Amino acid sequence: MAEKRRFQAIKGTRDLLPPETELWNRVEATSREVFGTFGFGEIRPPIFEPTELFARAVGGETDIVSKEMYSFEDRDDTSVSLRPEATASVCRAYIEHNMHAWTQPVKLYYIGPMFRRERPQKGRYRQFYQIGAEVLETLQQGQGGPKDIAKDAAVDAEVVEMVMTFFARLGLEGVQLEINSIGHNAAECRRGYVEKLRAALTEVKDQLGEDSRRRIETNPLRVLDSKLEHEQPIIEKLPRISDHLCDDCRKNFAEVKRQLDLRGVVYKENWRLVRGLDYYMRTTFEITARGLGSQNAVCGGGRYDGLVELLGGQATKGIGFAIGEDRLILSLLEARKEVASDEWRVASGRIGCDVYIAWMGSDCQVAAIKAAQELRAAGLRVELPPVELKFGKALGQADKVGARFALILGEDEVASGQWTVKTLADGTQEKVSAAEMVDWVRRKTGAKV
């Protein structure tokens, strides 16, 4: 006989259980509602893609691609990877489905699991969930001039406004938005800056940690992300991108800020916000929230003009973000610590029980099943015990599942067509006719049809 073995979820993955899943559903429903009001439609890309897609889009030198992807050889010897993020997939889908021919811009959102082999800790998992959105627009002839700088800025600001609206709707606390512009990939803009930064870093190389020393060659911008205490004063003295933006990028960033102001979105500038994915240009942003410890970024995003082209499509602009849903939920729960998790159960109104049907006698089971069918068809939450229980036991059970009413169905009730309904909160009982039952419960619970 096989040895007995208890299995556990793989490190960095976890089961999401009720009642917390009710909160997840509520958060997702709210995102759909809010994003819908901004004209976004849902896309559901696959969970795995060719490894090469992420290597190209996110960047072969990034931590995500070089260290954190779950990649494997498929049976036909092609390399596939569990998606570490979804922007690459959305761009792949945009090209594959000729979305450049759709009404522009194309606004899409997604909700689902992502996979990164990071060191697990609070707010950091190997399977985590993102709620993200992307706005894509293929350039028409004659586009791409100075007018676009203002237009892009307004699009960026509206995308940020959408996330902030969503967070406000959820009552997320301690929300702080940081923005930056990392310019564009040209000698007179970011490329020139990166060379200056590399030179400055080389001068202080001996004072830097191992990671930062390596990044001087591979990706000097990422040194700005360092959280190492002793590197902070060194980083503060490094050249800043804001002093090296080209004219267009500078104008664009000023306009992004003006557009955020117009929308009443409060932000802080952070010149060190460079983000860990290679596809960004110009606007980048991150949002933090309360109660998350060191993993406090609840949303990250930015502009990625050119990514669709890099993946074989036409010249296309892009801007988007992804919210870490696990962190969002953690922060919401943290703020509501004093409220028992049952609060979510009641607030969400999905699990729990409106009516517990206590029945005794095989004739009564038929009536009980019919009553359960009618009540459920009216959207009410019903518990029907699978075997008959003595009424005392049934009422105890009704209490345990938190039912509001117990419907008592014995031989007398079935014979008279008058059912006994007990309100569990105060123990009162009344008779209600079988025909009026559904309306009666609906009225009492305030349930909608």
- The span from the CA of 131 to the CA of 111, in Å, is 4
Residue 211 dihedral angles phi and psi, to the nearest 5° = -60, -50
- The span from the CA of 150 to the CA of 182, in Å, is 17
Residue 399 dihedral angles phi and psi, to the nearest 5° = -65, -45
Q: Taking CB under 6 A as the rule, does residue 35 contact ligand HAM?
A: no
Among 22, 63, 85, 248, binds ligand HAM (CB under 6 A): 85
Closest to ligand HAM by CB, 277 vs 394, is 277
Category of 400 on φ-ψ map: left (φ > 0), alpha (ψ -120 to 50) or beta? alpha
Closest to ligand HAM by CB, 85 vs 383, is 85
Q: Which stretch binds ligand HAM (CB under 6 A): 46-54, 92-100, 264-272, 316-324?
A: 316-324
Closest to ligand HAM by CB, 45 vs 132, is 132
Please, are residues 322 and 87 in contact by the beta-carbon 8 Å criterion?
Answer: yes
Per-position x/- string for 105-144, each x denoting binding to ligand HAM as judged by CB under 6 A, each - no binding: -----------x-x----xxx--x-x-x-x----------
Among 298, 384, 406, 408, binds ligand HAM (CB under 6 A): 298
Q: Which two tokens stand for residue 247?
A: 């004219």
Minimum Å gap between C-beta 324 and ligand HAM is 2
Q: Which two tokens stand for residue 329?
A: 């939920």
Q: Taking CB under 6 A as the rule, does residue 324 contact ligand HAM?
A: yes
Minimum Å gap between C-beta 129 and ligand HAM is 8
Q: Which two tokens stand for residue 423?
A: 């309100």
Closest to ligand HAM by CB, 108 vs 358, is 108
Closest of 110, 120, 121, 119 to residue 83, by C-alpha: 110
Minimum Å gap between C-beta 345 and ligand HAM is 25
Q: Which stretch binds ligand HAM (CB under 6 A): 264-272, 323-331, 335-343, 405-413?
A: 323-331
Q: Taking CB under 6 A as the rule, does residue 55 contact ligand HAM?
A: no
Q: Which two tokens stand for residue 305?
A: 């003009």
Among 45, 183, 220, 302, binds ligand HAM (CB under 6 A): 302
Minimum Å gap between C-beta 178 and ligand HAM is 12
Closest to ligand HAM by CB, 297 vs 447, is 297
Closest of 322, 357, 314 to residue 96, by C-alpha: 314
Reduced to 3 states, what is the DSSP secondary structure of residue 14?
coil
Q: Which two tokens stand for residue 252?
A: 């664009």
Q: Which stretch binds ligand HAM (CB under 6 A): 321-329, 348-356, 367-375, 387-395?
A: 321-329
Q: Taking CB under 6 A as the rule, does residue 158 contact ligand HAM?
A: no
* DSSP summary character for residue 122: T
Could you identify the residue written with the tokens 């969970």?
47
Q: Which stretch binds ligand HAM (CB under 6 A): 160-168, 176-184, 296-304, 332-340?
A: 296-304
Minimum Å gap between C-beta 163 and ligand HAM is 11
Q: Taking CB under 6 A as the rule, does residue 87 contact ligand HAM?
A: yes
Minimum Å gap between C-beta 297 and ligand HAM is 4
The residues, ordered by sequence, that sit 6+ positions from 271 with a Cβ below 8 Å of its Cβ are 180, 224, 240, 241, 242
Burial annotation 372-383 (CB, 10 A radius, 16+ → b, else e):
bebbeebebbbb
Closest to ligand HAM by CB, 248 vs 326, is 326
Closest to ligand HAM by CB, 95 vs 298, is 298
Closest of 84, 59, 81, 69 to residue 218, by C-alpha: 59
Closest to ligand HAM by CB, 273 vs 382, is 273
Q: Which of residues 325-354 bind ligand HAM (CB under 6 A)?
A: 326-327
- The span from the CA of 245 to the CA of 342, in Å, is 52
Closest to ligand HAM by CB, 121 vs 433, is 121
- Determine the residue with CB nearest ligand HAM: 324
- The span from the CA of 324 to the CA of 113, in Å, is 10
Listed in sequence order, the DSSP H helices in 323-434 are 325-335, 342-348, 362-377, 391-400, 411-416
Residue type, 188: E
Among 150, 246, 254, 297, binds ligand HAM (CB under 6 A): 297
Could you identify the residue written with the tokens 């627009």?
137
In the sheet with 48-50, reading across from the earlier edge strand, the strands are 48-50, 79-82, 71-73
Q: Taking CB under 6 A as the rule, does residue 291 contact ligand HAM?
A: no
Which residues of the shown chain bind ligand HAM in the complex (CB under 6 A)?
85, 87, 116, 118, 123-125, 128, 130, 132, 134, 276-277, 297-302, 304, 320-322, 324, 326-327
